[in-house]
């Protein structure tokens, strides 16, 4: 009997989110992008460390605190070394931390990738796809319909049609689920039985095919 094919999509981005801040030079709200470089300042026995951002319009700098007024002997030597080397991993981890700033702009879809892994016994003729989304680092503002279009190889209009006609369902169920940001652990179900492109959808969703589907792809009546 046709069963359920369970798949995990792990979402990562090389384009870090950008805080929206007042720019002193532009005299306006602007997006600031991480430069990937740190600034260290020593004041006696205390240290300050910042990640340097630049305005995407005029190149004005803004220093994002990593820590401030920290006693030197309380700073992990490995952390201090990473700051001095402008360690790319630490810069990326800091840039993806969105906890302390209210407004963000996503860094761009070109840096977004979806790693797909089949986590159930492979069901060649599966009638239902169960997709679980994992995000090791936050990807602010990424709408569910955009992610599904990317992962399934279809257009956003095709994703919308699948949802409206009941072939695509979500957890938690919501009328506007497609317009909401994707969250870590979110699950999506796609019914395949009766879809003309079921084989290609199954292969693309599980990472076994990269052929983009037509924007006109839709459920069979």
When pLDDT is averaged across residues 188-215 and rounded to a whole number, the result is 76
Higher pLDDT, 217 or 142: 142
Contact 188, 174 (CB under 8 A): no
Position 80 pLDDT exceeds 90: yes
How far out from the chain centre does Cα 152 lie?
A: 16
Mean pLDDT of 66-87: 94
pLDDT confidence bin for 17, thresholds 50/70/90: confident
Q: Which two tokens stand for residue 177?
A: 């689920």
Higher pLDDT, 32 or 12: 32
Indicate whether 203 pLDDT > 70.
yes
The answer to whether 142 touches 11, Cβ cutoff 8 Å, is yes
Q: Where in the chain is the domain with CATH 3.10.290?
A: 4-14+107-205
Model confidence pLDDT, tens digit, residues 145-191: 888 988 888 888 899 999 888 899 987 666 678 888 888 888 999 99
In the 3-class helix/strand/coil scheme, how is 48-79 assigned residue by residue? Answer: EEEEEEEECCCCCEEEEEEEEEEEHHHCCHHH
Q: Which two tokens stand for residue 102?
A: 């209210």
Mean predicted lDDT score pLDDT of the chain: 82
What distance in Å separates the CA atoms of residue 68 and residue 25, rounded to the nearest whole number? 25
Is the pLDDT confidence value at 102 over 90?
A: no
Quote the pTM value: 0.59
DSSP character at residue 179: G
Is residue 213 pLDDT above 70, yes or no?
no
Rg (CA), the chain: 22
pLDDT tens digits for range 32-62: 988 989 999 998 889 999 999 999 899 999 9
The CATH classification number of 4-14+107-205 equals 3.10.290
In degrees, rounded to 5, the angle at the alpha carbon of residue 13 between the alpha carbons of residues 178 and 172 is 25
3: DSSP letter: -
The confidence band for 114, taking pLDDT boundaries of 50, 70 and 90, is: confident
pLDDT at 125: 76
Residues with Cβ within 8 Å of 144's Cβ and at least 6 positions away in sequence, in order, are: 170, 177, 178, 179, 180, 181, 182, 186, 188
Residues β-bridged to residue 46 = 43, 71
**Residue 1: per-residue pLDDT:** 44
> Is 33:53 a contact under the CB 8 Å cutoff?
yes
The pLDDT score that the predictor gives to residue 172 is 65
Tell me the C-alpha distance between 66 and 146, whole Å.
32
pLDDT at residue 209 in the model: 61
Q: Cα dihedral sign for 189, 156, 101, 175?
A: negative
């Amino acid at each position: 009997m046709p069963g359920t094919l369970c798949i995990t999509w792990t979402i990562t981005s090389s384009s870090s989110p950008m805080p929206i801040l007042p720019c002193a030079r532009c005299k306006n709200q602007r997006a600031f992008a991480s430069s990937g470089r740190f600034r260290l300042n020593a004041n006696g026995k205390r240290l300050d460390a910042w990640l340097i951002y630049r305005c995407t319009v005029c190149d004005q700098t803004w220093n994002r605190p990593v820590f401030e007024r920290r006693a030197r002997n309380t700073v992990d030597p490995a952390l201090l070394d990473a700051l001095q080397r402008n360690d790319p991993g630490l810069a990326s981890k800091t840039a993806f931390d969105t906890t302390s700033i209210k407004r963000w702009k996503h860094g761009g879809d070109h840096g977004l990738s979806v790693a797909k892994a089949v986590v159930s016994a492979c069901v060649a003729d599966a009638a239902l796809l169960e997709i679980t989304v994992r995000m090791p680092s936050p990807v602010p503002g990424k709408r569910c319909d955009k992610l599904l279009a990317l992962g399934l190889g279809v257009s956003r209009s095709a994703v919308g049609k699948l949802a409206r006609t009941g072939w695509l369902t979500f957890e938690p169920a919501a009328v506007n689920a497609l317009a909401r940001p994707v969250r870590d652990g979110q699950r999506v179900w796609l019914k395949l039985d009766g879809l003309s492109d079921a084989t290609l959808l199954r292969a693309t969703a599980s990472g076994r095919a990269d052929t983009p589907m037509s924007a006109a792809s839709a459920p069979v009546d």
